[in-house]
Amino acid sequence: MLRVLLAVFLLFGTAQAAELHVSIPSPPFGRGDPFQAPGPPNLYVAPAIFDALTVIDGGGNLHPALAISWHASDDGRTWTFDLRHDVKFADGTPFDADAIIAALDYLTGEHLPSDLNAIEFENVVGYRAVDPFTVEITSRVPAPLLPRAVTVLYAVQPELWRKLGPVDFSYRPVGTGPFKVERWGTAQVDLAAHAESWRPAKVGAMTVHFQQDATARLQGLLAGQIDIALALSPEDRSAVEASGGAMHVVVPPAVVGLMFVATQPGSPFADARVRQAMNYAVDKTRLVQVFYEGVVDPSGQPAARAALGFNPDIVPYPYDPTRARALLAEAGYANGFSFSMDAVVGSTGSDGAIYQQIASDLAAIGVSMSIRAISNARFGQNFRGGNWDAQAFSFFYGAEPAFDALRPLKYYRCDWPNTAFCDPAAEPLFDAAAAATTLDDRAAAARQVMARFHDQASALFLYEAPRFHATSKRVDRFHMDHHMIRFEDVTFAPE
């Protein structure tokens, strides 16, 4: 019996002491500021450090996190959240409603323009701590999405947040998650287990490496230096499995596309016929078969199947280069045209080759697309600032955080600063969705928006965005919901 107990102790102790190494394509926007973006690369790291009120799994189902229950008022405008007791921040400070109030003070007040999560709370007109473990949030209009939106209402250590401000806090963030930050550098972030977390880690430490080159992420895993390599290519499967590792396919609620800058004077993309021609010209079925093992289908709308508002009646544009050339001729571009496209290359192992194939398909109808590789940081600057020095750019129509199909289309509204696309006829449809009092009504309105965006070909819609992640033979347990690793569940295999 003593030997058994000793073996268990040694095994547990080894697992706790072991350090997990994770490689991701780029550092999170704004480092440890949890409010910068709802999707990757921020969502690759934030859940290790922070918790929000609720969490959504890979199937789009809502679950408790720091909030254990919630309910709405009769008019649907006020939601009351009951908070978890006995939670501590990584510095030992007890968690209570003040942490949520601090976050709401910031997100509904003078936040950084780059804090895109603030968009989720733009209709919030009031909030209060009813008691230390109850928070009430009131919206200007009925808010059926609010329990899903608070998946990005992260609890920041309120005293430090108020004292340091978001920029200084981002270098030494403190949350209630399974890990605490030891050092935030330019190439990596070093973390240690937060022993008193309500969802404690099963490994003792973790380093997250920022490696834009997918080949470097793969080689690190094959060499035994990396345990989890995110955003690889399906063609890496054989090498990963030959090394004793495993490939994991995750399909987040997102669609990949090329967003056209249709608001520039004289742009060919101001004409819907040109945008439709682009959709007919690209063989999307071949793209997903060749580059993604056929694990997803082509898309004809900016909504993934798991998103609230996906329109199942929409049929993606078929591959029809003859129709594409005819539409170009109708629009006055019988001889084609040239344009440049900005792309973040390296987010997945296949994206560079995919953009080259798209360029080849477009060349067949006389359209020349030059690809300019840019960093994630540069993309963020261009997108937020409206620096449209290219005529199109790769875009990720992510429905996170609320799995809301309309979330990424906020940037297509005519009143969005420096918008790349404006369709006045779509505005009443957006307004109807915003006025919905139930999730079902909002989904119905969103489906109409999807149909309009399909017909207008607001972008070159490609496919839902599969992600191929790999774990080394050292990793025994790994689970990922959309872009969110369940860090507290990661374990090493017994040696």
Classify residue 114 as exposed, middle or buried by CB count within 10 Å of its CB (0-12, 13-18, 19+). middle
pLDDT in tens, 364-395: 999 999 998 887 777 777 777 767 788 998 88
Quick one: which of 130, 126, 123 has its CA closest to 70? 130
| Rounded (to 5) percent helix, strand, coil in the chain | 35, 25, 40
pLDDT in tens, 239-282: 999 999 999 999 889 999 999 999 988 899 999 999 999 999 99
Q: Is 207 in contact with 185 (CB distance < 8 Å)? A: no
* pLDDT for residue 2: 36
Other Cβ atoms less than 10 A from the Cβ of 185: the count is 12
β-bridge partners, 135: 81, 129
* pLDDT for residue 442: 93
**Position 349 confidence tier, pLDDT thresholds 50, 70, 90:** low
Cis peptide, bond prior to residue 41, ω within 30 of zero: yes
Tokens coding 344: 């973040």
Residue 322 Ramachandran class (φ > 0 left, ψ -120 to 50 alpha, else beta): alpha
Q: Is 465 in contact with 298 (CB distance < 8 Å)? A: no
DSSP letters along 44-66, please? Answer: GTHHHH---SEEE-TTS-EEESS
Higher pLDDT, 188 or 398: 188
Phi, psi of 85 (to 5 degrees): -90, 165
In total, the chain counts a number of residues equal to: 495
- Domain boundary assignment for the chain: 254-465
297 to each of 107, 124, 287, 324, 408, how far by Cα in Å?
Answer: 37, 37, 10, 21, 20
CA 337 to chain centre: 33
Beta strands in 211-359 (DSSP E): 228-232, 246-250, 254-260, 337-344
- Pairing state between β 54-56 and 62-64: antiparallel
**Position 14 confidence tier, pLDDT thresholds 50, 70, 90:** very low
Mean pLDDT of all residues belonging to the chain: 91
Q: What is the dihedral of CA 65, 71, 73, 79, to 10 degrees?
A: 0
The CATH architecture that domain 254-465 belongs to is: Roll (3.10)
Tokens coding 207: 């380093």
pTM: 0.80
Residue 284: is its pLDDT beyond 80? Answer: yes
Residue 22: is its pLDDT beyond 80? Answer: yes
pLDDT in tens, 209-226: 999 998 999 999 999 999
pLDDT in tens, 26-68: 999 999 999 998 888 999 999 999 999 999 998 888 999 999 9
Residue 193: is its pLDDT beyond 80? Answer: yes
Q: Is 210 in contact with 217 (CB distance < 8 Å)? A: no
332 to each of 184, 270, 274, 326, how far by Cα in Å?
Answer: 53, 12, 9, 10
**Residue 271: helix, strand or coil by DSSP?**
coil
